[in-house]
């Protein structure tokens, strides 16, 4: 019953969001067409439900050859591959809004584990890969909220970007996504939607850990800085 009601809510919410944002999308499409490389949408292969590959929709924010340049699938702070307008779209997460099209299609939900590129999915621990996409991936989720500023973490870690992602971020993010898998409910879903908006305005907020006291805990060491995105103060 939960899955059926969730799918119905996904369709209703995604339809309303797309209708409301349609005029804004038209302006943004024109702007993107006239700036950067002229690309509007970026369709990328992602791992989704039952580990099947699907095309995710995003507004274009990076150079076309970005996957073959520098850090590949991973983005760092002030990444030179990001276009000027793309930087703003990424900070505000506006570039993610076309994923409501994926929600209508049915290969994504509004809330769920974030769909990864195959190269990033492959670095998850095996027990995570086996279970993470037994639910549909989401436009937002606990992993996206906790790692709201993943680009800063990878940039300031003091380790090579790919090594830091593989050894530190991926294992912890995987555990967070499995936490969602084991705690799915309408309360959790609506709380995560609220927190998605909340951390845009308050990116350093510890509210997720105050609302969900049983989240997996882990400290992330970045050079001389001990960052604790997983510990509430």
- Model pTM? 0.81
By three-state DSSP, how is residue 21 classified?
helix
Flag whether 232 is in a domain: no
By three-state DSSP, how is residue 82 classified?
strand
Flag whether 148 is in a domain: yes
Flag whether 46 is in a domain: yes
Q: Which structural domain, as residue segments, surrounds residue 48?
A: 2-227
Q: Which of 169, 159, 163 is nearest to 216 (CA)?
A: 169
Residue 70 confidence (pLDDT): 57
Flag whether 216 is in a domain: yes
Flag whether 143 is in a domain: yes
Residue 223 confidence (pLDDT): 40
Instruction: Domain count for the chain, please give it.
Output: 1
Flag whether 233 is in a domain: no
Flag whether 18 is in a domain: yes
DSSP state of 167: I
**Dist. CA 224–CA 99, nearest whole Å:** 37
Residue 226 confidence (pLDDT): 36
- Are 10 and 110 in contact by the 8 Å Cβ rule? The answer is yes
- Are 173 and 166 in contact by the 8 Å Cβ rule? The answer is no
Residue 230 confidence (pLDDT): 42
Both tokens of 227, joined, read 């960052």
By three-state DSSP, how is residue 75 classified?
coil
Flag whether 167 is in a domain: yes
User: Hey, what's the torsion of the CAs at 166, 167, 172, 175, to 10 degrees?
Assistant: 70
Q: What is the pLDDT along the chain (233 residues), one digit of tens a residue?
A: 889 999 999 999 999 999 999 999 999 999 998 887 778 898 999 999 999 999 999 998 877 666 655 555 566 566 777 887 888 888 888 999 999 999 999 999 999 999 999 999 999 999 999 999 999 999 999 999 998 877 677 766 677 777 888 888 889 999 999 999 999 999 999 999 999 999 888 888 889 999 999 998 765 544 433 344 444 33
**Dist. CA 143–CA 173, nearest whole Å:** 6
């Amino acid at each position: 019953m939960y899955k059926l009601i969730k799918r119905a809510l996904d369709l209703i919410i995604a339809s309303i969001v797309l209708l409301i944002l349609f005029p804004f999308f038209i302006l943004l499409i024109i702007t993107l067409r006239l700036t950067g490389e002229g690309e509007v949408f970026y369709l990328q292969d992602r791992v989704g439900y039952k580990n099947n590959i699907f095309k995710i929709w995003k507004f274009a924010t990076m150079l076309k050859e970005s996957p073959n340049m520098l850090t590949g699938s991973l983005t760092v702070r002030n990444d030179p591959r990001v276009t000027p307008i793309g930087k703003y779209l990424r900070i505000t997460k506006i570039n993610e809004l076309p994923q409501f099209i994926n929600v209508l299609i049915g290969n994504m939900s509004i809330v769920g584990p974030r769909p990864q590129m195959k190269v990033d999915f492959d670095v998850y621990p095996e027990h995570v890969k086996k279970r993470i996409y037994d639910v549909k991936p989401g436009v937002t989720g606990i992993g996206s909220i906790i790692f709201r500023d993943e680009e800063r973490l990878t940039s300031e870690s003091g380790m090579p970007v790919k090594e830091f992602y593989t050894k530190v971020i991926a294992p912890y993010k995987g555990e967070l996504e499995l936490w969602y898998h084991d705690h799915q409910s309408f309360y959790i879903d609506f709380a995560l939607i609220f927190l998605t908006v909340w951390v845009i305005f308050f990116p350093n907020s510890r509210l997720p850990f105050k609302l969900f006291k049983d989240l997996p805990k882990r400290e992330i060491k970045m050079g001389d800085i001990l960052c604790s995105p997983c510990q509430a103060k």
